[in-house]
Amino acid sequence: MEKSNESYLATEKVGRLMGKYAIPCVISLLVGALYNIVDQIFIANASYLGSYGNAANTVVFPLTVIALAIAVMIGDGCCAFVSLSLGKKKVKDAGCSVGNSILLAILSSLVLCTVYLIFSNQIINMFGGTVNEETFRCSKEYFFWISLGIPFYMFGQAMNPIIRADGSPKFAMISTLTGAIINMILDPIFIFIFKWGMMGAAIATVTGQIATALLAAWYLCHTKTVRLMKKDFRLNGDIVRRTLVLGICSFLSQISLVAAMAAINNMIRKYGAMDEIFSQTQYAQIPMAVVGIVMKFFQIVISIVVGMAAGCIPVVGFNMGAKLNNRVKQLFTKLLLAETFVGVISFIIVEVFPLQLIGIFGAANESSYYTSFAIKSFRIYLCMIIFACVNKAAFIFLQAMGKAVASTMISMVREIIFGVGFALLLPAFFGLDGVLYSMPVSDILTAVISAVVITMTYRQLSAM
């Protein structure tokens, strides 16, 4: 890294650094989240798709998150490793990590794409796609085309944090934004004009992902801090291990979300069939479609939260490597305050304006049962969203400090033990409503753990 950049990360005001690195990261993640959300908005407002298309989108969404989980494990791990290495002035290690991460992203994406194409029926069934015949048909059509784009999607997402670590957060943002804009332009054309339905939504998404991947590939040929050499593309077991360890928290936070969504989708299918209204064939897809919409709004909020925290990874990593612990402590304080603010605003929106949120996703074309269940879902499922925001910030900050094990363990408790456990347990007592209660209960219990972790982190930074 050039001297001026080293001085900048070590001496610039923490607030300014947070703004420079976090804002582009937030925008990048928001734009990435909008791929699936934009698809769902256009699908929901197409009268020939409606809640069936919404339900299909909900079924396929976790499968794209699996791809994202692998990609961010590679990308965020490399980002943290590169930042720590540059802070310690180990430039060669940084280059090797980037080269190895590029190879891992390509190989893993091809394997996942193959698995998806071969076992599509079984996978769709596993995530609740058999709630009724029309939902299964829409899910299969959408999943096929999305699977073809998996290599491009994973490559673009994995390279994004690496580009940020190289000192180009704006380019990372622009590359993702370009793909999303292409998707937004093509979605209405393919869905409403060409009448391609789920296939049209998927093709629009994949086209945008290809554009993002091509821009990322171009940047890798023009890096400005880490200079890639041929030897960097030879797999180094030690570098790969250290990189993936730093990224494992990002992986688990995403993959555990998949486990929770699989549990939720199947509980919705099971207990929806016992409900007086939703046991009827023409309404069977409504709970799955609605919960999918609620999750999409939550994904927008979490994209902001994770973006703010993940954007600070290069700054935290460099200052930790340079042993400037007081600056790390200052950054942690500002991050927690900012994440709390996001949580408060989100809470007000879901509690006061649920009807308006539903309207974005085509509620005008649906029955009154759809609307009433959606309002209840927003208000219950996300009532503890403030805690969810602070929890995520704590997990990612620990990861940025190089405390991958602690970060991973806490994330696992939240997403697997609480997230999946309560999604399976509470419906047995509260029926379909139990699925909605699982989220706030998990966030409350995790907040207790986070409070302890945050206190310990402050004490450690002060002692160091």
Q: Where are the domains of the chain?
A: 15-463
**pLDDT surpasses 90 at 169:** no
What type of residue is 46? A
Residue 279: CA count within 13 A, CB half-sphere:
8
Measured CA to CA in angstroms, residue 244 lies from 75, 92, 316, 345, 439 at distances of 9, 18, 18, 34, 29
Q: Are 442 and 419 in contact (CB under 8 A)?
A: yes
**pLDDT surpasses 70 at 4:** no
Winning range, highest mean pLDDT, from 94-98, 199-203, 354-358: 199-203
CA-to-CA distance for 170 and 150, rounded, in angstroms? 24
pLDDT given for residue 101 in this prediction: 95
- pTM of the shown model: 0.78
**Where is pLDDT greater, at 193 or 29?**
193
Mean pLDDT, the chain, whole residue set: 87
Q: Are 55 and 285 in contact (CB under 8 A)?
A: yes
CA-to-CA distance for 172 and 178, rounded, in angstroms? 10
**pLDDT surpasses 80 at 93:** yes
**Where is pLDDT greater, at 373 or 31?**
373
Angle between helices 368-381 and 325-352 (to 10 degrees): 150
Q: Are 346 and 395 in contact (CB under 8 A)?
A: no
DSSP string, 172-200: HHHHHHHHHHHHHHHHHIIIIIS--HHHH
> 13-32: per-residue pLDDT in tens?
877 888 888 887 788 778 76
The mean per-residue pLDDT over the stretch 313-329 comes to 78
pLDDT given for residue 352 in this prediction: 94
**Where is pLDDT greater, at 237 or 13?**
237
**pLDDT surpasses 50 at 1:** no
In the block, residue with structure tokens 């033990």: 417
